[in-house]
Amino acid sequence: MKRFVLFLPLIFFIGLGIFLYKGLFLNPKAMPSALEGHPVPAFKLLTVTKGDRVVTKADLIGDYYLLNVWATWCAACKAEHPYLLDIASSGVSIYGVNYRDELAAAQDWLTRYQDPYQFSAFDVDGKFGLNLGVYGAPETYLVDHLGIIRLRYAGVVDTRSWKSDFLPLITQIKAEIAASKSL
Amino acid sequence: MKILLIMVTLLAAIVSEDSLAVDTYKFSKPQYEARFHALNKILRCPKCQNQNLADSNSMISQDLRKEVFRMMEEGRSDAQIVEFMVMRYGDFVLYKPKVDNVTYFLWYGPIGFGVFGFALLFIVVMRQRGKKSNQTVVKGSDELSAQEQQALDNILKNNK
């Protein structure tokens, strides 16, 4: 017993070491989103490419869809763009939120790099972004068939994050849809 | 060389002064201004993480300051404004974390460690004292009693 007590500091030290070592590999940007589990906030905005068309929350349709916050001033968005095109061509609906951008630059971007979005809401003053809890770009939200935000992903969506973060949730949403239909 | 250094420093000061586009707000009531600054101090900039809204000049902070100003002019209370921010950005946006289940350890951990440490110190000191008083009793008699001699012999024998 006495011997065991002597080892306590060592055990404590190892425990602390493991705890702190794990901390080295945490992503400080990965913050819990306050909006996960809540519906998409309402909005009423013009779009980047569709002229006078006004879009609202009702225009976001699909069994599940992505809401991607982007801007031409955001370098990481450019890196993300090809991957969004891939996702869109695989049949996933992506709606864009053009966050605090210039209209001409945004239009130019979509013609030059192709347009993966069903439409891009033109959120010039960042109001919708603010209601979404956006603090930068790119950010991507996964929304389910009930219009509930299931995932908020800050940073570049790529093959790895798509597989590890999005796909499992999409499978789950599909299962939920199937379950609700069979009822 | 020194003059050059001074010039560069001055230039840097001018440039940074310029780039800090200070947003000016006209408050309808003078007490709003004090509240506005107080709120900007306790709300964290979600993007820069280690600055509050008042310190940060990032785009999101500008937006949030504007939002604080707008809500204040609408006559909302501080609590309502803070709630608005927490709804969107989570508890993270508060510089001073709330006391709840998740943060109990954060708030009371240090006190707990302190109490534990002092308790340990107290025990160790008391034990040490107990030993010392035993020693003085032994010192009183130079000769070992028969019983003690026996015990000592046993120990020596076992050690061999």
With an 8 Å Cβ cutoff, are A32 and B64 in contact? no
Reported pTM: 0.71
Residue B14 has pLDDT above 60, yes or no: no
Q: Which of B59, B67, B87 is opposite residue A34, by nearest beta carbon?
A: B87
Q: What is the distance of C-alpha A23 from the center of its chain? A: 24
Describe the crossing of helices B30-42 and B78-89 by its angle, rounded to 10 degrees: 30
**Low-confidence spans in chain A with pLDDT less than 50:** none
Q: Tell me, which fold does domain A43-182 have in CATH? A: Glutaredoxin (3.40.30)
Q: Is B51 on the interface with A (CB under 8 A)?
A: no
Strand order in the sheet with A65-70: A120-123, A93-99, A65-70, A139-143, A149-154
Q: Is A36 on the interface with B (CB under 8 A)?
A: no
pLDDT of residue A29: 65
- In degrees, rounded to 5, the angle at the alpha carbon of residue B69 between the alpha carbons of residues B68 and B75 is 90
pLDDT tens digits along B18-37:
444 456 788 888 888 889 99
With an 8 Å Cβ cutoff, are B90 and A133 in contact? yes
With an 8 Å Cβ cutoff, are B64 and A132 in contact? no
Q: Give the whole-angstrom CA distance, residue B70 versus residue A35.
A: 22
Q: Give the whole-angstrom CA distance, residue A59 versus residue B74.
A: 30
DSSP lists the bridge partners of residue A122 as A98
Q: Is B59 on the interface with A (CB under 8 A)?
A: yes
Give every CB contact of residue A28 below 8 A, 6+ residues apart in sequence: B49
With an 8 Å Cβ cutoff, are B88 and A100 in contact? no
Give residue limits of the domains in chain A.
43-182
Describe the crossing of helices B30-42 and B59-73 by its angle, rounded to 10 degrees: 140
**Best of A130, A141, A149 to disrupt the B interface by mutation (most B CBs within 10 Å)?**
A130
Report chain B residues whose CB lies below 8 A from the CB of A34.
86-90
Q: Which residue of chain B has the CA closest to A152?
A: B89
pLDDT of residue A137: 80
Distance from the Cα of B66 to chain A's closest Cα (Å) equals 11
This model of the complex carries an ipTM of 0.74
With an 8 Å Cβ cutoff, are A135 and B60 in contact? yes
With an 8 Å Cβ cutoff, are A130 and B86 in contact? no
pLDDT of residue B17: 47
Report chain A residues whose CB lies below 8 A from the CB of B64.
130
* Nearest alpha-carbon partner for A143 in A63, A45, A31, A44: A63
pLDDT tens digits along B64-96:
999 899 999 998 999 999 999 988 888 888 888
Q: Is A31 on the interface with B (CB under 8 A)?
A: yes
